[in-house]
Amino acid sequence: MKFLDLQRENAPYAEELKRVAAEVIDSGWFLQGERVASFEQQLCSYLGCRYAVAVGNGLDALRLILKAYIELGVMQEGDEIIVPANTYIATVLAVTDNRLVPVFAEPDERTLNLNIHHLEHLITSRTRAVMPVHLYGRSCWGEPLKELAGKYRLKIIEDNAQAMGARSRVPGLSGSCMSGALGDAAGNSFYPSKNLGALGDAGAVTTSDAELAEVVRALANYGSHRKYYNRYQGFNSRMDELQAAFLSVKLNYLDAENAKRRDCASFYSKLLKDTPLVLPESAGEEHVWHQYIVRCGERDRLQEWLHSQHVDTQIHYPVPPHKQSCYPRYNHLQFPLTERLSQEMLSLPIAPGMTVEELSFVAESVCRFCMGRELSQNK
Ligand SMILES: *Cc1c(COP(=O)(O)O)cnc(C)c1O
């Protein structure tokens, strides 16, 4: 069983996707056209934010937000940005790419997200922003984060690569409860395996800040706000018409797909509840289950066992960003919880198209492993 079968996941929409692809090909218009503009509108109404700027990918979306804040004088080189220690490295790359300094924060063991109750001690006179990551599909938001941002005038930049469609219980700064519209700005990814996946690279910046949106749009287009006039030293990061057309189709089905992911997750949790594994909390609409993560002291053996049963699993992530060889200057830092989690976490296959039989097979294979371990412990 594959970890994720994208061919099967896209199959229900294949006819519709081929039809819109044909329309784009016949139109002869491939960049900065009406399909991108209309996807941006659609995304704004879905999220309840004012502006969306379609860009090349999720990492660029985050880089562009920070670069725009630098252009606007909100932050400058060497300023500190609080990021979760337990995240995909792209969050941190966006910070260091702009010569800003990542300040890592341990997660909340229950949610695996940034511990928003425990950030204040990390704030210095150079802190300019917090970047909550809605990791594994669970929205990371709450009053403590809003209060902290208000008190220290910090920007809140969401990394919404994994949680498109998640709804926070607490409304965001502009009133919307959708992740991607909670903070001052959000970077969204439409990488094919994300909950809203394109058929190639794509991303978007979403915000309700008109000035920020305008600067991001210029920066993503060589720094040009008007053709052949360059206000900034920008780069080129644009979503193409083809991806926008695909995403406009797929956004219509996102809520239904996320509901299926929730069903998969509760099914797993029901079948695995008597095992010694640490299971993810259910979190209602706050969670769109980009990943279903279990924790196991014998994670590598469990993974090998599942592999022998033809169940593919993955580890998100085996090496935390501060321990990566691209960051020798952070390698000495210690985040015990993050490091322990990276040893214990295992992602089981989860996707809207998975059948009950497949989910049962995965769960039963996990149960068989746990029973075998218990027996050997009793000997
Ligand atoms: C996927 C991902 C990104 C980067 O998105 P790309 O579109 O692949 O560039 C950033 N942050 C997180 C948490 C992600 O999962």
Which pLDDT tens digit goes with each residue over 200-239? 999 999 999 999 999 999 999 999 988 899 999 999 999 9
CA quadruple 155, 161, 165, 167: dihedral sign: negative
The torsion angles phi and psi of 218, rounded to 5 degrees, stand at -65, -45
User: Closest ligand 1 atom, CA of 201?
Assistant: 7
Nearest to 179 by CA among 282, 283, 260: 283
Helix 356-378 / helix 299-308 crossing angle, nearest 10 deg: 130
Confirm if 331 and 323 have CB atoms less than 8 A apart: yes
Q: Which residue's alpha carbon is nearest to atom 6 within ligand 1?
A: 58
CA distances from 206 to 156, 197, 200 (A): 12, 17, 20
Taking a C-beta distance cutoff of 8 angstroms, is the pair 348, 268 a contact? Answer: yes
Whether the pLDDT of residue 374 is over 70: the answer is no
Q: Residue 84 C-alpha to ligand 1 middle, in angstroms?
A: 14
Q: Which residues line ligand 1 (CB under 6 A)?
A: 57-59, 87-88, 90-91, 133, 159, 161-162, 189, 191, 201, 203
Q: Give residue 348 CA to ligand 1 midpoint distance, Å.
A: 19
Report how far ligand 1's centroid is from the alpha carbon of 267 (Å): 27
- Ligand 1 atom with the shortest distance to the CA of 87: 13
**97 Cα: distance to centroid of ligand 1 (angstroms):** 15
How confident is the model over 144-163, as pLDDT tens digits? 999 999 999 999 999 999 99
Predicted local distance difference test score (pLDDT) of residue 373: 72
Q: What whole-number distance in Å separates Cα of residue 305 and Cα of residue 338?
A: 25
Three-state secondary-structure class, residue 373: helix
Give the predicted TM-score (pTM) of the model.
Answer: 0.97
How far is it, in rounded angstroms, from Cα 36 to Cα 297? 46
The mean pLDDT value for 72-91 works out to 98
Ligand 1 centroid vs 160 CA: distance in angstroms?
Answer: 8
- The reported pLDDT for the residue numbered 75 is 98
Please give the number of the atom of ligand 1 that sits closest to the Cα of 57. Answer: 7
- Say how many Å lie between the CA of residue 347 and the centre of ligand 1: 17
Quickly list H helices, the chain: 6-10, 14-27, 34-47, 58-71, 90-97, 143-152, 210-219, 241-251, 254-272, 299-308, 336-344, 356-378
Nearest atom (ligand 1) to Cα of 62: 10
Q: Which of 189, 288, 317 to mutate to test the pocket of ligand 1 (most atoms within 8 A of CB)?
A: 189
List of residues 6+ apart from 304 with CB closer than 8 A: none
Q: Is the pLDDT of residue 376 over 70?
A: no
Give the CB-side neighbour count of residue 144, counting CA atoms within 13 A: 9
